[in-house]
């Protein structure tokens, strides 16, 4: 029984360990490129920044790629540069020369946010689904803004950030008071619907969360662990984020 589990696990999830953030980014960009996504799901925050830089440098994405955000803050002015849509425009879409209408996010300015969430879910369907979803992971195991306790079957919905997540994200804002409480995020089932998932984790602060994911401690308390059974999941991280647990892994060659 133990062996059967191990085999299924090794078949499904790939764990790649790089020496540093640059090696991780190069591997993530190469994998995204290999998948030739028409629809690329994009995360924000620190984790994917170097990967976006690599993708811009290589110009290796299909020219007509559609970028779909994982989540968006509610309550920021439409022109606020902290909006995740603005971040993706600046880090990826604009440098690649992608037009504005190739970048999709939930309409967080709508009066009815629940409806806006449903519409986003619908849009992802109309685009044919997400081919490759790039993810970071929160210290508490959140993916997108699905905080611990979010049901595994959740679809795009209105959510609230945990205090710890707001504290972590305060580094992007003038102060903690500026960090929104409310978000619209793809749900765990929405994320898991992507054909291919690449999760990036670097730094010791992520070790507990990634260990819970890669060692199959599946629990609603660690939202990322809901991805465990995904048929095409690659976790790419550095030693600080991934060392410690016993699981099959591939060391990335230094380039
Ligand atoms: C951002 C997102 C979050 C981040 C996570 C890790 O769109 O969905 O789940 O990926 O908070 O953030 P960083 O990469 O800044 O540590």
Q: Domain for residue 247, yes or no?
A: no
Whether 177 is in a domain gets the answer: yes
Query: What is the Cα–Cα distance from 91 to 96, expressed in whole angstroms?
Result: 9
Predicted confidence band of residue 1 (pLDDT cuts 50, 70, 90): very low
**Is 125 within a domain?**
yes
**Structural domain that includes position 23:** 14-235
The DSSP H or E segment spanning 120 is helix 113-126
Q: Is the pLDDT of residue 8 over 80?
A: no
- Measured on CA atoms in the order 165, 171, 177, 183, is the torsion positive or negative? negative
- Is the CB of residue 18 below 6 angstroms from any atom belonging to ligand 1? no
Q: What is the pLDDT of residues 39-69, one digit of tens each?
A: 999 999 999 999 999 999 999 999 999 999 9
140 is catalytic: yes
**C-alpha to C-alpha distance for 26 and 24, rounded to whole angstroms:** 6
What is the structure's pLDDT at 119?
98
Domain annotation covers residue 252:
no
In a domain, 45, yes or no: yes
148-204 pLDDT, tens digit each: 999 999 999 999 999 999 999 999 999 999 999 999 999 999 999 999 999 999 999
**Active-site residue identified among 142, 146, 168, 169:** 142
Average pLDDT over residues 15-32: 96
3-state helix, strand, coil in the chain (%, to 5): 40, 20, 40
Task: Report the CATH number at residue 220.
Answer: 3.40.50.1360
- Examine residue 123 and state whether it is found in any structural domain, yes or no: yes
The whole-number average pLDDT for the span 98-113 is 98
- Higher-confidence residue: 229 or 27? 27
Residue 251 lies in a domain: no
How much is the pTM?
0.94
pLDDT band at 250 (very low <50, low <70, confident <90, very high): confident
Q: Ligand 1 pocket check: which of 25, 45, 222 to mutate, most ligand atoms within 8 Å of Cβ?
A: 45
With a cut of 80, say whether residue 246 has pLDDT above it. Answer: no
Average pLDDT on 219-244 reads: 91
Total structural domains within the chain: 1
Does the pLDDT at position 71 exceed 90? Answer: yes
Closest approach atom of ligand 1 to CA 71: 7
Between helix 21-35 and helix 49-58 the angle, nearest 10°, is 50
């Amino acid at each position: 029984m133990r062996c059967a589990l191990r085999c299924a696990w090794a078949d499904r999830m790939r764990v790649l360990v790089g020496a540093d953030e640059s090696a991780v980014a190069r591997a993530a960009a190469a994998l995204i490129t290999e998948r030739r996504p028409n629809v690329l799901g994009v995360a924000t925050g620190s984790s994917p920044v170097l990967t976006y830089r690599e993708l811009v440098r290589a110009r290796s994405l299909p020219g007509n790629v559609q970028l779909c955000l994982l989540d968006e803050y509610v309550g920021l002015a439409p022109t606020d540069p902290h909006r995740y849509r603005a971040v993706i425009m600046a880090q990826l879409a604009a440098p690649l020369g992608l037009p504005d209408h190739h970048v999709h996010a939930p309409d967080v300015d709508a009066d009815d946010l629940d409806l806006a969430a449903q519409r986003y879910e619908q849009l992802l369907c109309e685009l044919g689904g997400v081919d490759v979803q790039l993810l970071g992971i929160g210290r508490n195991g959140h993916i997108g803004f699905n905080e611990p306790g979010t049901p595994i079957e959740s679809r795009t919905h209105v959510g609230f950030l945990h205090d710890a997540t707001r504290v972590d994200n305060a580094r992007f804002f003038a102060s903690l008071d500026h960090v929104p409480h409310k978000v619209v995020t793809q749900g765990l089932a929405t994320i898991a619907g992507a054909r291919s998932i690449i999760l990036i984790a670097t730094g010791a602060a992520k070790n507990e969360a990634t260990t819970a994911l890669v060692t199959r401690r599946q629990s609603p308390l660690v939202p990322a662990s809901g991805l465990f059974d995904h048929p095409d999941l690659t976790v790419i991280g550095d030693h600080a984020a991934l060392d410690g647990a016993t699981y099959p892994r591939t060391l990335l060659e230094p380039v």
